[in-house]
Structure 1
């Protein structure tokens, strides 16, 4: 089937190619039949005219599901808005008219009534040929049954459309929850990363909740609207929403070195890392990390080897910084140096 606007030539400016735009005469404002249409139908008509420009002779050959996807609306809403347009003869089908567009008494007939007044009269013979070519016939039982199945069960096209709408709404919620920052915070890269993360199976609600918690943490530390706020795409790439999730019980482990004295300044961040990373990862990378000191916003730690220092800086520095900021909010930078003797520095003497 093909859905065709009436007097499509009135919308055309270029005859030899598909234009990026269409002509829409101001006389539409005085078209009584057009303004008798429901609001949804009046809004749908210009969108369908724009869609028709992509097809030869303005004949929209897409399925109802595909049209609904392009219009960003559910199929039932499309049908509800399209029925008055067909009944008022602003659009017609050139083949079988689907059952969902027929009235109980008789099918909605398609004719040549114009959506806007004609400026050039066509030859009477051409009009008769066009009317005959586009005259609808009663839809077959099989076609009607298939139409009902498509509407009830949906299609991959509509499933994708719904998924896109839902994903867009979720990102909107995330962007609203995410704290504002001083400086650049590109939205499109963040949206791309957010959608890819959700598509990979991550819980969108957890990410949004993490963004709200992050904003609240920054509010408490007076860092909202400053350059200390991470760019959203970076925050997502580092999976920082997990910092605000309840840790599984299996990750709440006993310190692997309960008998070793740990500097009380380093102890809270160390405990947070243990809970965050779990005992295995913690033992591999942070068990032998020592505390040198803190100078204002600068923390200095030691690692026993250059390899361990490099791996911590590459894979765990964001988590290490956040672990410190949870207990000492003024910390802005954590430096890891290699212990000069290759051994774990001793803690403070036992009391």
Structure 2
């Protein structure tokens, strides 16, 4: 395995880590409207992810930076071709971060309600758009001989990509509901478990269709194994959630995300961005990568930085591991 192959795997790991971690706090953001009945319960949900949501976004920054350095042609084509969707995601992430911080700065009902709306929409839209983006990457887009995207925005809104967006939206919301059941106490915990079962069943139907479509279009033996793992883990997560085993259910919902995203990268390799116009114009790990010297320097840097990030985030989750409930909220700020 050459360094460019190693970096393809490393970037896949970064995206998997991002979707595993940011997935549940996107889901919790959506649940502020679907699950919470009043302002106190919305504060419980926000507090559940308050200590960790910003750290989860480190994985996105790392994935983007790694793509820029290791596969500059991929980065250039992706960010120019998907400019508007990625810009919308970026705006949502900015608004989302501001909403968490500004919501409690004033006690006025209108002020807090507006920021709560912002939390909901800036969680829902990225959860959907990431699936659309990756659906298009796997399906292939209009890339010409100059490695430039020559399609338009409507080309990105195809049935396969939209189904991918619905899968990530429902899967992340299910992941968030299971996390809520694991992290909270009292009535909201039981309602989160009930809602998670419903969301899990919807996710199972959508994801089975999307993964089957992916397997038929681009899959091989390894991607089929990943698909089976993702499906089995999702079913297990639903069953264990129903049985009240939130910890194991959350672990398996995470395995579902890991296997499903892993399957997408398995179907891509050795391409990083297939061309739907001509296979010869596809971006691959060979023609889109940086020089061996650049990849070598990056490998040393990543070998030092990644363990530190994992240790720090693990410590953060351990410190803030206890359940919270409405009894811990003195008043609705």
Q: TM-score range by the shorter chain?
A: under 0.3
RCO higher in structure (CA 8 A, sep ≥6): 2
- Structure number with greater Rg is 1
Larger helix proportion, structure 1 or 2?
2
Larger strand proportion, structure 1 or 2?
1
TM-score (norm 2): 0.22
